[in-house]
């Protein structure tokens, strides 16, 4: 009997088309992506129907940490109500986020040293450079130097530990704008001063109409109320958030925005 010869087919699959598709997908993701900013703690914002987007530039984000949800702590609320600040500058190279951070730091330290003459904070240029490259920070002025001396991984670990009493910008109840400010208020004052200074520089020699159309941090703070965005967890008690509101009111920064996720009007709230 003659054997029937089966012609063996090659199992090679041509991957060129597949490669084309993946490259296209890759291009799409690369172009649409904005990288997640590193934040020391995760918060889940409540949702609202407001469709206004968080601005890309010229915004100061205040993050309020939430109670510990891992269930590992005896008292989950020790992790709650810690403040972190991040600065985002213009896309413009002279006022990039790095430069804005540097200016804010210099201003805030000047105010702090003015108020605490016996306990001044002096940072080396290397430490300042470290601060400029950091997205979000949340330590009292007294811990600033210590924190900036750490390596990046150490720092993330340090700031990510919400139970550490050294983490979080102090926000006690000072209600006097002219008196001794708490750390959070010093930062707010620095934000205002720097924004105003930049605005004055940019507005010099412009007509009133052009001045009204300037889009810098000062305009965002004063006119649009988009300069400061508060990001808090939906389960954070109102009393904690109110403390932040109170400090903003004390510093006369009454217009600000609250970060929310989007939901539709028809979505049941209950």
Partner 1 sequence: MAQIEQKDGGKKKKGAQKKMAIHVDFTPMVDMNMLLITFFMLCTTMIKSQTLQIVLPTNEDVRKEQQSQAKASEAVTLILDTEYNGDTPKVDPETGKTIHNIYYYEGVADTLFQTNKYLRKEQFIGNVNHEPQGIRKILRDKNKQVMEEYQTLKERWKNKEITKEEFDKLAKKNASDSLKTRPVVVIKPGPNTTYEGLINALDEMNINQISRYSIELPTHTDTLLLKHFEQANNETIIRPTVRQTASKATAAAAAPAPQQ
Q: Counting contacts by CB under 8 A, is residue 185 touching partner 1?
A: no
Strands 59-64 and 47-48: unpaired
Cα–Cα dist 216/57, whole Å: 9
Q: What is the CA radius of gyration of the chain?
A: 25
Burial class (CB in 10 A: 0-12, 13-18, 19+), 148: buried
Q: For tokens 């990046």, name the residue.
A: 152
Q: Counting contacts by CB under 8 A, is residue 42 touching partner 1?
A: no
Q: Counting contacts by CB under 8 A, is residue 72 touching partner 1?
A: no
Cβ at position 41, least distance to partner 1 in Å: 14
Cβ at position 11, least distance to partner 1 in Å: 12
> Using CB under 8 A, which of 16, 70, 93, 122 touches partner 1?
16
Tokens representing 183? 């750390």
> Using CB under 8 A, which of 52, 92, 114, 154 touches partner 1?
52
Q: Counting contacts by CB under 8 A, is residue 22 touching partner 1?
A: yes
Q: Which residues pair with 86 in a beta bridge?
A: 61, 136
Q: Which of these ranges, 50-58, 101-109, 193-201, 206-214, lies near partner 1 under the rule CB under 8 A?
A: 50-58
DSSP 90-109: -SSSTT-HHHHHHHHHHHHH
Q: Which residues pair with 88 in a beta bridge?
A: 59
Q: Counting contacts by CB under 8 A, is residue 6 touching partner 1?
A: no
Cα–Cα dist 184/26, whole Å: 42
String of contacts with partner 1 for each residue 136-175, x by CB under 8 A = ----xxxx---------------------xxxxxxxx--x
Q: Counting contacts by CB under 8 A, is residue 32 touching partner 1?
A: yes
Strands 59-64 and 228-232: parallel
> At residue 265, what are phi and psi to the nearest 5 degrees?
-65, -30
Closer residue to partner 1 (CB): 107 or 143: 143
Total site size for partner 1, rule CB under 8 A: 93
Question: Cβ distance 88 to 257 under 8 Å?
Answer: no
| Footprint on residues 213-252 left by partner 1 (CB under 8 A) | 225-226, 229, 231-243, 245-246, 248-250, 252
Closer residue to partner 1 (CB): 205 or 268: 268
Closer residue to partner 1 (CB): 123 or 203: 123
Length of the chain as a residue count: 270
Q: Counting contacts by CB under 8 A, is residue 189 touching partner 1?
A: no
Closer residue to partner 1 (CB): 102 or 218: 218
Q: Which of these ranges, 76-84, 91-99, 100-108, 189-197, lies near partner 1 under the rule CB under 8 A?
A: 76-84
């Amino acid at each position: 009997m003659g054997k029937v010869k089966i012609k063996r087919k090659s199992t090679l699959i041509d991957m060129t088309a597949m490669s084309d598709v993946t490259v296209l997908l890759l291009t799409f993701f690369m172009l649409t992506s904005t990288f997640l900013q590193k934040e020391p703690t995760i918060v889940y914002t409540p949702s609202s129907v407001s469709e206004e987007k968080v601005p890309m530039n010229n915004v100061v984000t205040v993050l309020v940490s939430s109670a510990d949800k891992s269930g590992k702590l005896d008292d989950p609320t020790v992790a709650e109500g810690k403040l972190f600040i991040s600065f985002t500058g213009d896309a413009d190279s002279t006022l990039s986020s790095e430069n804005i951070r540097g200016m804010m730091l210099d201003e805030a330290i000047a105010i702090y040293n003015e108020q605490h003459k016996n306990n001044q904070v002096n940072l080396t240029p290397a430490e300042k450079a470290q601060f400029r490259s950091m997205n979000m920070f949340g330590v009292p002025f007294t811990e600033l130097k210590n924190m900036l001396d750490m390596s990046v991984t150490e720092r993330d670990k340090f700031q990510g530990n919400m139970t550490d009493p050294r983490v979080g910008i102090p926000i006690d109840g000072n209600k006097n704008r002219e008196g001794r400010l708490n750390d959070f208020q010093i930062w707010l004052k620095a934000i205002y001063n720097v924004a105003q200074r930049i605005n004055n520089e940019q507005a010099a020699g412009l007509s009133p109409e052009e001045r009204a159309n300037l889009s810098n941090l000062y305009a965002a703070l004063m006119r649009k109320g988009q300069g400061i965005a508060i990001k808090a967890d939906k389960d954070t008690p109102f009393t904690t958030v109110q403390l932040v509101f109170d400090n903003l009111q004390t510093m006369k920064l009454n217009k600000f925005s609250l970060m929310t996720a989007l939901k539709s009007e028809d979505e049941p709230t209950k």
